[in-house]
Chain A
Amino acid sequence: MKILTFFSLFSTFLSANSINVEENAGQFFSSGHTNNWAVLVCTSRFWFNYRHVANTLSVYRSVKRLGIPDSHIVLMLADDMACNHRNPKPATVFSHKNMELNVYGDDVEVDYRGYEVTVENFLRVLTGRLPPSTPRSKRLLSDDRSNILIYLTGHGGNGFLKFQDSEEISNVELADAFEQMWQKRRYNELLFIIDTCQGASMYERFYSPNLMALASSQVGEDSLSHQPDLAIGVHLMDRYTFYLLEFLEDIHPASKANMKDLFKVCPKSQCVSTPGHRTDLFLRDPGSALITDFFGSVRKVEITMETINLTDLIKEAEQNPMNEKPQKVTYSYVDQLPVSEIIHQKPKQKDWHPPDGFILGLWTLILLVFFKTYGIKHLKHIF
């Protein structure tokens, strides 16, 4: 009898373990990203908010330099500083005083401009719920293996970001939008950078996995602007983005700098405000995440010197006789949102739990011992 119970216990244990091995193998092969996207948003209009447009364009320049193409960047600028009537140097937006660096140039592709930059459009871009007529350049066509960089700048407060002087997006809305993105499998990992006053309040409410966030100032602090240019008559950049840019200038596509270096950008002595970051939702160690994972589009490329022959000829399709009726083949779209798969998919477990089979076996053992000791006639007291 005892051997029987022991044997049944052992078998259940083995079966549970075998399920475990398959899972482990699956986890071993799924990681990393295959493409990069960037969503760069400037939310302020008016001439005296020149610096917000300069911020966004500077990040745009860096991201392009590190490899993300225009087709993978959604650039939203709420006002046109380059062609503003008050710009003494038309068709330029400078980010350094004495007009050292023109970040506008002649190959800027702005996807959302002027009054198109609204909270609704921003959320639609993130969640993908755009009308069918929206062109590709205005869509965030990311998938579950995309790493996305989201950069927001403008005027903000505790828990909100102001769009265009007429509406606001709250941190709850933003967190919900990211959760929608997670559930629709629209990102692999997401880096969120915000340069506004009290920026840390915007990432307080995030709850979706694989998010890392950086902000230029804590709640209750103002983010300050960097330098005015007297010839143009406005402030050109904000401090946090200025030092972020200096940091990014040293990054090239092959650099191994990681996120921990990014957290050190702009300490309080330079920024006056205290930058903050949030990594608890990020599943990897931030030290293992490279800067180029988000800011660049780095492909793992292996160069080989061997030649590969494509020896099989391509067969032509057989000609159908004219008198045969053309066959009707019904096509169907692949399910874009495979709900059944998602519902039944097990979430990734962070902590180790003992496998289910083991616990089942344990309770069976306890019950058997119990009934062995006290006899089977007590069974009716339980059921």
Chain B
Amino acid sequence: RIMPVRWSRYDPSYLEPEVNKELYQKPSEKLTEEEREQMELKAVRPIKAAPPTLSSSVFSDPMISKFTNMMMKNGNKVLARSLMSQTLEAIKRKQLEKYHKAPENEKETIECNPYIIFHQALKNCQPIIGLSNITRGGKTYQVPVPLTDNRKRFLAMKWLITECRENKHRRTMMPEKLSQELLLAFNNEGPVIKKKHVLHKMAEANRAYAHFRWW
């Protein structure tokens, strides 16, 4: 059942815009049944306007935009965007340093692309299972619960940002600290990965209460 939680300025019949250029250049024979139906539906329904953060250029990435929005404070998108670009630059610099110092045989294993490092680090930080508070007979238990994709991504990004804001020396800048954390997460080390493992252990410990979940 579709229940609109908040109302939006768009009519409910408006569909989301699709910005990827390559999807439009595909010839019609290679489309599957579902894609054909979707194309037909799109031809009839009106479509929402593309938001200002979305663009068809190579440089716009939905994950990076989401992360920038979460880092933003008081609506200062300019500052958040500049911090993000400085972080990616810092990652690239560190990786290049490592690349030039490494011996010949290890040069291929070092990843220099900051976007790949960012995506891989986020993936490594995502928890598989989460805990939720369920009250039964007066006592509140922490019950292990499966998480949706959106929730996993949100938790990974939230942990990274809180970790960078709190556990750092007063004089270190945010991009430096963020790049450090991202590189550690990329290699499956660091405090964020530790937090994820702690959560998994708690879920394993409270396995007995898993039957309290009714959804």
A binds B: no
Residues of chain B whose beta carbon lies under 8 Å from any beta carbon of chain A:
none
